[in-house]
Structure 1
Amino acid sequence: MANAAEAPPLNVGVKQYCNVVVGKAATPGGVSPELFKYCSSSEQDSLNHLVNAPVWQQHRTDAKFTFTPNAVNPYSSDLLMTWFSDANCDGDQTDIYGYSGTCDSAGYKIYPDSWWSTNISSAAGFAQCNWADFTNNARNFAEGFALPVSNLGQALNDNVGIIQVYNG
């Protein structure tokens, strides 16, 4: 459950809308766990699932993590950022929500799944999430951007392995 937003195209050529809820990392610098995700070719359907779905609550026991359903509505989470498959904040999109509130200076560390790691081209931030560090898939190049960013540039376009979104 560590990777966010597996979003293989349901219908090639049909725009996809995804919603993902992540929690705060259990340790400083750790990965933010994915608590919920749903994708649809209908924006309204995607939002309906977000409103009505339970979030999986992370529990730590003896250095192991377990997940149990939590009745708290994920839609009450704060919108952190949106990923887009095309430049200029267009194309398929995934909204990333923070179950533990909006961004602070630590923010949320998110590992995009295999589809998004080869398809992110632009991103927008919301509320206090005004900055993001993007690291490539090889983990040998990173660059920070004020959000929104309309183009991640040649080194990061369709090549993102880690995103740290925060208040900067």
Structure 2
Amino acid sequence: MTMFKRIGRATLALLGGVLITAATAVPAGAAPVTPGTARPAAGCVLMMQQPDDLTRTIPVKQVCDATEIRASGAVALARYYTDADFGGYNQDVYGYYGTCDKEGYTFSTGDYWSHNLSSYRVFPTCFWSTISTYWGTTRYGTAGDSSYVGDTWNDNTYTFRTWAR
């Protein structure tokens, strides 16, 4: 059985107990894109959806209609970046449930961002944050913005949690 894992711009394959690596060719300045996950269109934002119950991770959907965004009453919570130091392509994340409080928000990063998130900013009332991989590895207690999410989470983030002080 062959197992594949994408880490940044490299792919690791475990084939018969032997680890094989292969670099993925990416043009200079371009963000790596995992097959099947197209980069969101400019001007689109991620909007949190109503969860099935309050203990579950909130799913997100892409919204590109500025009128719908304004009319929704949603609040900006964070901005994701494809590169470290807040560089590259970016996209804002909005929530319908008011600004951050001590309970905060836990939401999925979405298909594109789960494979491309390298840094992020949180907006004014959101202060603390954690991120987790598909395997549950969590980065605890980041205060404020994160100029680099770390090697374990770079291009490998499944959930994002943020809350107020």
- TM-score norm. by structure 2 comes to 0.67
1:159 aligns with 2:156: yes
Q: Secondary structure of 1:53's match? A: helix
1:22 aligns with 2:48: yes
Question: How much does 1:142 deviate?
Answer: 3.1
| Residues 38-67 of structure 1: CA deviation (Å, up to 9, x unaligned) | 3xxxxxxx5xx23x127xxxxxxxxxxxxx
The corresponding residue for 2:135 is: 138
| Residues 74-129 of structure 1: CA deviation (Å, up to 9, x unaligned) | 2x321101011111111111101111111111211111223211110001011211
Counterpart-to-counterpart distance in 2, 1:7 and 1:129: 28
Figure out how many residues of one structure are paired with residues of the other and give that number: 130
The corresponding residue for 1:37 is: 62
How large is the Cα RMSD of the aligned pairs? 2.6
Assess if the C-alpha contact under 8 Å between 1:123 and 1:147 holds in 2.
Answer: no
**One-letter amino acid matched to 1:53:** E
The corresponding residue for 1:73 is: 71
Q: Secondary structure of 2:160's match? A: strand
Q: Secondary structure of 1:149's match? A: coil
Q: Secondary structure of 2:44's match? A: strand
Structure 2 residues without counterparts, runs of 5 or longer: 1-35
Question: How much does 1:24 deviate?
Answer: 6.0
Counterpart-to-counterpart distance in 2, 1:27 and 1:133: 21
Counterpart-to-counterpart distance in 1, 2:124 and 2:138: 27
**One-letter amino acid matched to 1:116:** W
Question: How much does 1:18 deviate?
Answer: 3.1
The corresponding residue for 1:65 is: none
**One-letter amino acid matched to 2:127:** N
Distance 1:17 1:90, change over 3 A: farther
| Residues 17-46 of structure 1: CA deviation (Å, up to 9, x unaligned) | 431221564534322243x523xxxxxxx5
- TM-score norm. by structure 1 comes to 0.66
The corresponding residue for 1:9 is: 39
**One-letter amino acid matched to 1:27:** D
Distance 1:120 1:106, change over 3 A: same
Q: Secondary structure of 1:73's match? A: helix
